[in-house]
A and B are shown apart, each in its own frame.
Chain A
């Protein structure tokens, strides 16, 4: 039989070449997918690890409270534990030690020392130099903020006094400031007690809160030489990217389970607390979620491709069977047994498989290499040369065997007349559709009800659902086509023409039309689905980026900003950009504080610019301008313009007889951009004389005084009286020429809950000569109470804030049950504020899926100032529509991390573990188009085989060549066009039903905001036009050849 098979193959070489080409093409796709799932996936994982933040991969050993003598030993122990955990990844270790807090000279403020291995990568030197080895005084660098607040210049020495707390050392440490620095990003300074801010007015490590400064960074040798006790020691291990494979990192995560115990045992009772922690498991989970999501998409393409290829193999099998029908009948008549036929078919299938595999393996390797060199994949670092791997060979061989076996097995059966439908076959046909539909409905339901969080079990659903849906809808949809054709033929019966009725009759009654229609319809559906899903997926990633960043550019400050930073930001942004200071900080809503992973968030921006500033979907077709409207206070704060220099602001006040009161004024100033900050001043006596106010920081020109805090202290007399003593404090602000006609009203209120102050009033007026604005604070003072508590008053240039209008996120509404109009009690940084819900949005920008509120930054600032929180509350700046120059300028400021919305979107769509999704969907489109055209070719080939005699006879009956072409063309197009239309509709329906649910975020969870179908109408129209055009071209070309080969002179052969 092998001889017969080979000789027949020789004769039918063109036919078999076509078959091999078809099988090799499909096997090539399978090979490409297998390489994407293996080689590219591994490479993507490696690149993703390389591009991860170091903190996402590192393992850190924490040791709390150590005696100075134990530092070196315990550090070595921590080094060993971290090194062992990361042993497989060739780690690099970093050590940071923070001393216990030490008192500064005045005994009321505190500071601390730090030593760290990697200072230069975490900080930018602002002035001076980095510290070197030295004996006391030890060389140190400090944050620029610390230096400014402590009035430290280079070369200054500072004594850090005794360590606070039980068991602290008494020996002071003297340091010499040799440089100042600015943190590169807040993230790098997470372990610092002040997070790199350099100052906190109320830092507490469990003891009494006090103004705290630092760190004073010294070398490790210096640190050990000081003998300082260590408050916190951290040893951080960073895996080497080259060794950080998936399996190695999984091993690290496993090793973390025991690491804390080992460190605790090693440190013993020398340390109060020890812990080994890492975000690696979270990072790995995120990377695996991305891998799973991408794998699901590739598997969808693979399954759809194989299903289409199987349909094509069936068609090809019938074509081959029709060519061999006579031979088969002859051999059967001559006594060829079924077993012999199967053996021959098996041998032929094996030979074809091997030939196809030999072609497909290099083709897949080359195509995969070309694919990885596409711009997006190359930019993601995935470009690779051709790869020949055993999984590739196995996948290609399996696909080739499956397809050729299907194909050759088909040739064993009859072709021309399937015979009358048996009851069983009719039942099978009738039942297949509903069964497929039920399976698809089940998959759809599974998809709809999948967990919104990352879950591996979703992988199967994500893969199977679209394949089942497309298959079921196509099988059911194409059943309409013959019905439509029969109706069309029925209409044509009464026409005079020949072409249309015969074409529709023929198209409606083709044998094996179901498989052909399923192939054509499913290919079109897959292509339409692929294009729409790609667009939906990309749109969703952009939506996620919009909501995640919240605006076009976010500058997250590494340290609290002052007026100077605000001025620099304003200077760095161009006039076309919309800029807003932003408050973005955790919030407690009553007792609800959320979870570690998701805290309630307060976002405050300049809502008067919310339309231009904010990004992300608001729902209900509202703009952000509408959503944020009405949140800002009705009027801006006018304040009193301050002179930038020249004549000073003066303060005079008179104490009651027998007393000697003093006042410390703190100005709340606002710059031209609305940024508020404070400037403190030195102590002034209330002795009846006017004293110039000595501001502790320069007042920049253009500032306005919008608040004034007066902290009163001093001697209240020998026997302080409970009777109220009237006190008046007058602040004269020299005129600047920028004052309004009438000074706005001010308020004066005591800041203490139990205050010795009563009857406070504030009067602001221009002096008679117009040279100054006079702010007069008048109040009564209970001197006896005052002698214990002092007095703290605040004057403001704006009305009291009773509640802050906010827009709440849907998550807040769902969690807390708040409704529009409700008032919520919220705590921000220990200050209680009242929020009034004015509206609801699906999500607040920069806080996707979180319990969050959006408020106006001015309103929040006023409310916090009212509550006595005068320090700047700005955490970041948001910029809309920044020019490239603005982006560069803001980055160059070095104030903190700059995040661009488009960068995040690009990372989400083109990150190494994500970029394969859109590319694979494009591959699906290309594959579907190729299989559609192959299907058209196979259908036409089979029809030519089946109908050649008929066409010749029609020519003999007088049908002209032109009419023959028209007849065949009309017949084929009557078959293909409705099928393509059905396929397009199936693609649309599958996209609408499944598209949004197939999109996952980079965390493997449901995207926020939820995905919506994004129809790329132009692409879809071009695609359908291309598919239709390609079908018409192939049909026309093959029809012309068919008619040309059907000359009436061949009538003899046609009999």
Chain B
């Protein structure tokens, strides 16, 4: 894993001619059509668009969760679309992390344990893991809630835990799909501000899908997507 603070020469994300269609023939639904764009290292990009516009498909393709019909996705210079199953798992484990709309915390684990999941996946030494978890919980303001399980936390707190978890593995790219979709406006703004802050402090590149105009202001750049095409 490379040092996130190390400056990179090229874009962190390079997307070219990305196309994805669901279904076939008469039932075919084009989700993305010949999409191309770059995201610079450390940049926070907001992908905006209506429901069904292709935001989630784009994020899934960036994270290697889905494969395009055509086109290429390069993350930190590495082609994602040609990676095999293990390569994609390694990519998600080491370079890309996710923040889900529904938080995606494991109910059986405490907040600290949830944050430690990516580190366990990477078999980080216990002492380093605990130190990192403590740091991140401190960063998201939940140090006092480390031992609580998701069911004992509010929605905003759960999303903050999810952000801490997303940052635990020191990813190069953070993908967030409607991270405030389950939260009220005030909490959503707070979470987004936190995301903005921690991305900056951790030097992580972030692509955030949202349709909340208030949140777009916090992004470095807004990438509008409509009918599967990126508008600018």
Contact = CB atoms under 8 A, between A and B. Distances in A.
A509 B107 CA distance: 9
Contacts of A958: 89-94, 118, 121, 169
Interface of A: prevailing SS? helix
Contact of A498 (B57, B60, B92, B121): B121
A134 interface: no
A1051 B120 CA distance: 22
B124 interface: yes
A953 B104 contact: yes
Contacts of A953: 98, 100, 104
Interface in B119-157: 120-121, 123-126, 129, 151
Contacts of A1055: 100-102, 177
A664 B101 CA distance: 121
28 contacts: A496-B123, A496-B125, A498-B117, A498-B120, A501-B113, A502-B120, A505-B109, A505-B113, A508-B108, A949-B104, A950-B104, A954-B117, A955-B92, A956-B63, A956-B65, A957-B92, A957-B93, A957-B98, A957-B165, A958-B91, A959-B89, A959-B93, A1048-B63, A1048-B65, A1048-B92, A1049-B67, A1052-B60, A1055-B101
Nearest to A495: B126
Residue with the highest number of chain A CB atoms closer than 10 Å, among B89, B98, B100: B89
B180 interface: no
B106 A1052 contact: no
Nearest to A505: B108
Given A496-B125, A1049-B60, A957 B117 contact: yes
Interface in A634-666: none
Nearest to B112: A493
Interface string A932-967: 000000000000000001100111111111010000
Interface residues of A, number: 30
Contacts of A1052: 56-57, 60
A482 to B, nearest CB: 12
Nearest to A1047: B65
Nearest to A956: B98
Contacts of A963: 89, 121
Interface string A569-595: 000000000000000000000000000
B5 to A, nearest CB: 22
A39 B93 CA distance: 65
Contacts of A497: 120, 123
Contact of A502 (B106, B118, B124, B126): B106
B53 interface: no
Contact of A957 (B85, B121, B129, B151): B121
Contacts of B85: 960-961
A1049 B20 CA distance: 12
B202 interface: no
The 8 A-B pairs of least Cβ separation, nearest first, read A958-B93, A498-B120, A958-B92, A960-B89, A1048-B65, A953-B104, A1049-B66, A505-B108
B86 interface: yes
A494 interface: yes
Contacts of A493: 113
A140 B173 CA distance: 118
Nearest to B101: A1055
Interface string B47-64: 000000000110010011
A215 B128 CA distance: 107
Interface residues of B, number: 41
Contacts of B14: none
Nearest to B67: A1049
Nearest to A494: B126
Contacts of B65: 956, 1048-1049, 1051
A502 B125 CA distance: 17
A506 interface: yes
Contact of B108 (A417, A509, A957, A1049): A509
Interface of B: 56-57, 60, 63-67, 85-86, 88-94, 97-98, 100-102, 104, 106-109, 113, 117-118, 120-121, 123-126, 129, 151, 165, 169, 177
Contacts of B169: 958
A950 B162 CA distance: 13
Nearest to A1052: B56
A957 B109 contact: no
A359 to B, nearest CB: 37
Contacts of B120: 496-498, 501-502
Given A955-B92, A1049-B67, 19 more contacts: A496-B129, A498-B120, A502-B106, A505-B108, A505-B113, A506-B108, A950-B104, A953-B100, A956-B63, A956-B65, A958-B90, A958-B118, A958-B169, A960-B89, A961-B89, A1049-B60, A1049-B65, A1051-B60, A1052-B60
B173 to A, nearest CB: 12
Nearest to B93: A958
Nearest to A416: B107
A1049 B94 CA distance: 19
A1055 B177 CA distance: 10
B121 to A, nearest CB: 5
A854 B90 CA distance: 83
Interface string A473-517: 000000000000000000001111110011001101100000000
A501 B57 CA distance: 33
A498 to B, nearest CB: 4
Contacts of B67: 1049
A1033 to B, nearest CB: 25
Interface in A786-843: none
A502 B105 CA distance: 12
A875 to B, nearest CB: 76
A48 B165 CA distance: 75
B126 A496 contact: yes
Contacts of B107: 509
Interface string A1030-1055: 00000000000000000011011001
Nearest to B118: A957
Contacts of A501: 113, 120
A971 to B, nearest CB: 10
Contacts of A960: 85-86, 89, 93
